[in-house]
Every structure is written in structure tokens, then in C-alpha cells.
């Protein structure tokens, strides 16, 4: 059963430890010494010449991050493997089951994946200097295996050519209005980690019957959380019921006819950690890349170009963007997502039929 080897097994055993939150401190914290970007590390990384980044961050953003890294450290090429977080998880599972170790650094918008990878012993303990110095305890693994690279929100959005601001929905409840039937697009928790996380939070706070009612609105079902904003921008659908806030913000800032709505019930918060794999084929380049990701420089760049939220205290949000602290969010609970993922997908598939 090679394909099934990497199941989320031992749910019962792990449940006690992970019951509170991902970052709940276990009895002993065993994080390694923080690592700085040293000339030795750069030289070793350059010898490897490349780094492979599995990520669910929207492609234009992740590719620009990669270009920034390549500009900063010439001679080390970054290959971005972007796909939905759930497919990343599936693929890494398949690859590791066949003893293929292709990924160096991983980022996933489904934080629960890191619980599994850590439990399976796949992650390398490695703490970049910036994480040790600047990141709050709830944003780093006590064993130093991963840290919160970014946060995004799953929000409502609309096309301003198709919906007048006054008519726009203000809350998730508003989306159930019959006038939006056939005009809604949403992404799928089977592909997107953002939506997986959001679906958990919404089913917890709003109940599954919310989704049952939403399904009756004849929603257009796409895969990645980055796609609903693009479909709204194209005017293919007037409203998005979920999807990345940051992609929508980018579209808006580049003059696209879209507007973000932070739902009254609170926008599901989606944290996307970064980690280095123990079996990374380019271990030094991986560590260098991980360090770079958490520098104020990179975090500021990502914030600027993408509108994603950073947990680095030195990062300044671009003027005009609403900072995370001013938004009402739904609480994240990666451990619960980890526990319920299979049921969430099954239930979702049943309700939405795909």
C-alpha cells in the first residue's frame, strides 16, 4: 500500500498533544540555534546551484519572490512548483512514499500539513535568525521545524461593474440571498489549503447548513483559492464566496474592477508556514532560501507585491491596505483541521457534488 503509507495515522495519539493549537508548547522545546546568512552558507548554497520551492502561493507572486532571491544570491536558481496546497500535500506524500526527495523548501496554506510532516519526521529543525529574533512564539514551531511565512484571509469579493457597492453583500449570510443565485464563484477545499482551512473555520462558526444553503445558489466551482478573484476580475461571476484576499487586492490595485468585502462574521484566517525538508536535495540552498524568506526584506517585498500579511514586526503595510489587526477574523485551528480534513472533504463533496 505504498500510496497510502503517508496517511494521517495516529490521530488519537497525536490528538492530545495537538488539541490546542499547532504551536502549543510541548514539554520540552528543542529548537536548534538560530542560523544567520553567513558567507559559508551562501558559498555552500551556490555550490548546489538551485533550490526547489513547493508552494501554494499564487504563481506571479511566488515567481517574483524567486527572482528577488536570485537577484540577491546570483548563481542559485529557484524553481517554483506551484499548485494548490492540498495537491502539494498529496504530491509530497506520493513522492516520499516512492522515496523521491525533490522538494527543498515548502510553503502550504494549510497549516495542518506541517503537523503531519513534523510527526512523520520529514522536516528539518532549522530556525532562521529573523524568526528567532522577531517572530512571536505562536508563529514558530517550538522545535524549530517551521514558522509562519505569511497569512491570508479568505474573503468575499465582487466585480464593481456588475454589482453596485450599495447592493454588495456584507456578510456570508448575505450570500444566501436568492438574487445572487448563479452569480457566485468559489474554490474547492480538495485543492486549496486556504479553502480547506476556511471551510473548517466556517463550518465551526456558521455550521454545515450554511454550506448546504450556499450550494443551492448554483455556485461555479473552481479549484485554487487564487482563481475566484480572477474569475470575478474577468467578470465571469459577480461575487466570490471565498478566495484569497491578496489576489483580489492585487487586481484592485492594478485597476481591476473588484472590491474586497471583509465579512461581518469574520474572515477566515489562513496561516501559511514555511519549512525545510530533512531530505532536501539542496540542503544549504534550502536553508539559505528559508533564511531569506523570513528577512524583513523578503517579507516587505511579499507584502508589497502581494498584499499578503506578514508576522514580521518590521514590515509596513502599504498605504491604503487594511492591516490584519483591524480586520475581524475567524480563529485558525490547524490541529482541528488536521483531525477533520478527511471528513470536511467528504462532506463538502457530498454537498457540492464535486
Instruction: Give the β-pairing of 127-128 and 77-82.
Output: unpaired
Span of 13-21, 50-58, 268-276, 290-298 interacting with other proteins by CB under 8 A: 50-58
Contacting other proteins (CB under 8 A), which of 47, 59, 137, 207? 59
- Three-class SS of the chain: CHHHCCCCCCHHHHHHHHCCCCCCCCCCCCCCCEECCCHHHHHHHHHHCEEEEEECCCHHHHHHHHHHHHHHCCCCEEEEEECCHHHHHHHHHHHHHCCCCCCCEEECCCCHHHHHHHHCCCECCCEEHHHHHHCCHHHECCCCCEEEEEEEEECEEEECCCCCHHHCCCCCHHHHCHHHCCCEEECCCCCCHHHHHHHHHHHHHCCHHHHHHHHCCCCEECCCCCHHHHHHHHCCCCEECCCEHHHHHHHHHCCCCEEEECCCCCEEEEEEEEEEECCCCCHHHHHHHHHHHHCHHHHHHHHHHHCCECCCCCCCCCCCCCCHHHCCEECCCHHHHHHHHHHHHHHHHHHHCC
- The residue among 91 and 322 lying less far from other proteins, judged by its C-beta, is 91
Least distance between other proteins and beta carbon 212 (Å): 14
Contacting other proteins (CB under 8 A), which of 44, 68, 97, 324? 97
- The residue among 44 and 77 lying less far from other proteins, judged by its C-beta, is 77
For residue 77, the cross-strand partners are 50
Least distance between other proteins and beta carbon 92 (Å): 9
For residue 34, the cross-strand partners are 127
Burial of 345 (0-12, 13-18, 19+ CB in 10 A): middle
Should residue 160 be labelled a site residue for other proteins when binding is judged by CB under 8 A? no
Should residue 261 be labelled a site residue for other proteins when binding is judged by CB under 8 A? no
Which residues ranging from 181 to 240 are in contact with other proteins (CB under 8 A)?
A: 182-183, 188, 190-191, 218-224, 226-227, 230-231, 233-238
Should residue 352 be labelled a site residue for other proteins when binding is judged by CB under 8 A? yes
Should residue 4 be labelled a site residue for other proteins when binding is judged by CB under 8 A? yes
Should residue 150 be labelled a site residue for other proteins when binding is judged by CB under 8 A? no
Should residue 11 be labelled a site residue for other proteins when binding is judged by CB under 8 A? no
Should residue 353 be labelled a site residue for other proteins when binding is judged by CB under 8 A? yes
Least distance between other proteins and beta carbon 229 (Å): 8
Should residue 134 be labelled a site residue for other proteins when binding is judged by CB under 8 A? no
Least distance between other proteins and beta carbon 110 (Å): 10
- The residue among 38 and 98 lying less far from other proteins, judged by its C-beta, is 98
Should residue 68 be labelled a site residue for other proteins when binding is judged by CB under 8 A? no
Q: Which of 171, 187, 323 is nearest to 244 (CA)?
A: 187
Should residue 350 be labelled a site residue for other proteins when binding is judged by CB under 8 A? yes
- The residue among 28 and 99 lying less far from other proteins, judged by its C-beta, is 99
For residue 147, the cross-strand partners are 140, 274
Should residue 77 be labelled a site residue for other proteins when binding is judged by CB under 8 A? yes
Least distance between other proteins and beta carbon 96 (Å): 10
Span of 28-36, 136-144, 309-317, 342-350 interacting with other proteins by CB under 8 A: 342-350
Q: How many residues bind other proteins (CB under 8 A)?
A: 69
Should residue 78 be labelled a site residue for other proteins when binding is judged by CB under 8 A? yes
**Residue ranges binding other proteins (CB under 8 A):** 1-4, 7-8, 52, 54, 58-60, 63-64, 66-67, 77-84, 86-87, 89-91, 93-95, 97-100, 102-103, 162, 182-183, 188, 190-191, 218-224, 226-227, 230-231, 233-238, 256, 341-342, 345, 349-350, 352-354
Amino acid at each position: 500500500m505504498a500510496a497510502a503509507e503517508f496517511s494521517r495515522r495516529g490521530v488519537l495519539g497525536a490528538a492530545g498533544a495537538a488539541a490546542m493549537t499547532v504551536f502549543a508548547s510541548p514539554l520540552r522545546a528543542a529548537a536548534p540555534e538560530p542560523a544567520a546568512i553567513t558567507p559559508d552558507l551562501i558559498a555552500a548554497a551556490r555550490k548546489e546551484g538551485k533550490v526547489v520551492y513547493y508552494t501554494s502561493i499564487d504563481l506571479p507572486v511566488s515567481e517574483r519572490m524567486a527572482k528577488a532571491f536570485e537577484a540577491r544570491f546570483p548563481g542559485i536558481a529557484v524553481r517554483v512548483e506551484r499548485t494548490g496546497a492540498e495537491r502539494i500535500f498529496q504530491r509530497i506524500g506520493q513522492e516520499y512514499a516512492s522515496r523521491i526527495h525533490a522538494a527543498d523548501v515548502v510553503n502550504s496554506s494549510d497549516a495542518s500539513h506541517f503537523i503531519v510532516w513534523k510527526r512523520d519526521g520529514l522536516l528539518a529543525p532549522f530556525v532562521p535568525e529573523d524568526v528567532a529574533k522577531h517572530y512571536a512564539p505562536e508563529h514558530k514551531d517550538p522545535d524549530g521545524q517551521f514558522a509562519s511565512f505569511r497569512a491570508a484571509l479568505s474573503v468575499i469579493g465582487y466585480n464593481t461593474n456588475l454589482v453596485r457597492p450599495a447592493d454588495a453583500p456584507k456578510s456570508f449570510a448575505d450570500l444566501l440571498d436568492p438574487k445572487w443565485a448563479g452569480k457566485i464563484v468559489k474554490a474547492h477545499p480538495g485543492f486549496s489549503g486556504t479553502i480547506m482551512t476556511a471551510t473548517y473555520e466556517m463550518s465551526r462558526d456558521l455550521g454545515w447548513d450554511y454550506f448546504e444553503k450556499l450550494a443551492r445558489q448554483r455556485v461555479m466551482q473552481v479549484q485554487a483559492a487564487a482563481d475566484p478573484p480572477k474569475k470575478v476580475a474577468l467578470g465571469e461571476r459577480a461575487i466570490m464566496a471565498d478566495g484569497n484576499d491578496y489576489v483580489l487586492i492585487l487586481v484592485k490595485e492594478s485597476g481591476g474592477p473588484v472590491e474586497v468585502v471583509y465579512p461581518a462574521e469574520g474572515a477566515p484566517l489562513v496561516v501559511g508556514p514555511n519549512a525545510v525538508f530533512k531530505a532536501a536535495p539542496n540542503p544549504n540552498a534550502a536553508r539559505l532560501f528559508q533564511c531569506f524568506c523570513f528577512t524583513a526584506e523578503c517579507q516587505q517585498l511579499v507584502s508589497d507585491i502581494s498584499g499578503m500579511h506578514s508576522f514580521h514586526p518590521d514590515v509596513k503595510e502599504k498605504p491604503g491596505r487594511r492591516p490584519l489587526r483591524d480586520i475581524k477574523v475567524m480563529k485558525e485551528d490547524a490541529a482541528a483541521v488536521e483531525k477533520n480534513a478527511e471528513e470536511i472533504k467528504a462532506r463538502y463533496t457530498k454537498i457540492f457534488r464535486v
